[in-house]
Structure 1
Amino acid sequence: MKHLIFFCGHAGTGKTTLAKQLFAPLMHATGEPFCLLDKDTLYGAYSAAAIGALTGDPHDRDSPLFIEHFRDPEYRCLIDTAAENLALGVSVVIVAPLTREVRNGRLFDRAWLGIDDDVAISVVWVHVDEDVARERIVARGDPNDAYKLAHWEEYRKRLFVPDEALARTLVMFDNTTPSGEAGGELVARLVA
């Protein structure tokens, strides 16, 4: 069975680092080929050029303009690329916040995802405390975080913690103090 594994969560939670650390163990545990689709790698440069042409600021990735006009097309292309790989027999790891899609359950909607029943879907919600996330965002020094940091109060209003009912549909992963043991346990849950 092919796998579609999402690593979702807010900025600064360590989604990309975690997905990359678990990539080889996932391939080993399943015996399947995987591809890694990271939203920032796939669309970061293009979106920076486009938003920069419109606003003069290529790092304007959390502004209302970006969210209204660029967010959904980026995610649609990401999902379509995943579906294309899955149709070719390649399992997929997706790294992206996808917070709206987590909240509304779209990541389990096979029609919206464009995938068949022969694909196992797992959604890992990677989380840390807000203070830890902010410290990590500041420490990484990514210019794409400038708007978010300059408008932190506005940004934090979009943050959410899955409620109990939603959390039951997700694989919750506290990434505050990452460890190899916790990563191994997560891989076991994802391939069970």
Structure 2
Amino acid sequence: MKHLLFFCGHAGAGKTTLARRLFKPLMRATGEPFCLLDKDTVYGAYSAAAIGALTGDPHDRDSPLFLSRLRDPEYRSLIDTAAENLALGVSVVVVAPLTREVRERRLFDRAWLGIGDDVAIRVVWVQVSEDVARERIVARGDPNDAYKLAHWEQYRQRLFVPDDALAADFVIVDNGAPSPESDADLLARLLAPSRLT
């Protein structure tokens, strides 16, 4: 059984750190090869060049222009790359906000994902409080966060927490104070059978 694992959530939640920390334990526990597809690594340089050519600001990745013109093709390509690896027998960990896709439940839509029934899907929603997220965003000093920090009130209107109906199908992780015990528990939850897959 191949695995497709999504680590989703808002900026500053610690999606990438958590996924990387669990990567080797996942491979050891499953005995499978895994591929890590972090949206910022895969498309960061391209997105910076594209939005920079359009607006003159390569870090303008939260602007209305980026969100309306470049966001969806970027995510579509990320999902297609995951499907291609899965077709070759390689399990995949995807790290990306994917908030719209979470709300629309697309991450369980096998036709939209381009995968078959031989792939187990798990969606991890990584969250922290808004204050912790903002502190982390400020502390990391990434120029790509400049727009959201300068327009925080506008940005925070896009923040959401999955409701009970959504949360029932996701693995929800409060990443405010991670520990080895919480990582071990999460690993067990990721590999447990699911009613959806």
TM exceeds 0.5?
yes
Counterpart for residue 76 of structure 1: 76
Counterpart for residue 109 of structure 1: 109
The 2-side partners of 1:25 and 1:57 are apart by 39
Give 1:31-180 correspondences, 5 Å limit: 31-180=31-180
**Shift of residue 180 of structure 1?**
1.1
Q: Displaced runs of 4+ in structure 1, greater than 2 A?
A: none
Give the root-mean-square deviation of aligned CA atoms: 0.4
The 2-side partners of 1:64 and 1:172 are apart by 29
Q: TM-score, normalised by structure 2?
A: 0.97
The 1-side partners of 2:139 and 2:43 are apart by 23
- Residue 162 of structure 2 aligns to a residue whose secondary structure is coil
The 2-side partners of 1:163 and 1:46 are apart by 34
Opposite residue 89 of structure 1, the aligned amino acid is G
**What does the per-residue CA deviation read over 1:129-166, in whole Å, with 9 as the maximum and x for residues that have no partner?**
00000000000000000000000000000000000111
The 2-side partners of 1:46 and 1:37 are apart by 15
The 2-side partners of 1:165 and 1:72 are apart by 25
The 2-side partners of 1:30 and 1:185 are apart by 15
Gaps of 5+ in 1: none
The 2-side partners of 1:102 and 1:83 are apart by 18
Opposite residue 117 of structure 2, the aligned amino acid is D
- Residue 183 of structure 1 aligns to a residue whose secondary structure is helix
Opposite residue 128 of structure 1, the aligned amino acid is V
- Residue 41 of structure 1 aligns to a residue whose secondary structure is helix
The 2-side partners of 1:106 and 1:24 are apart by 27
Counterpart for residue 15 of structure 1: 15
Gaps of 5+ in 2: 193-197
The 2-side partners of 1:163 and 1:190 are apart by 20
Counterpart for residue 24 of structure 1: 24
**Shift of residue 111 of structure 1?**
0.1
Identity of aligned residues (%): 81
Opposite residue 11 of structure 1, the aligned amino acid is A
The 1-side partners of 2:170 and 2:141 are apart by 30
Q: Aligned residues, how many?
A: 192
Q: TM-score, normalised by structure 1?
A: 0.99
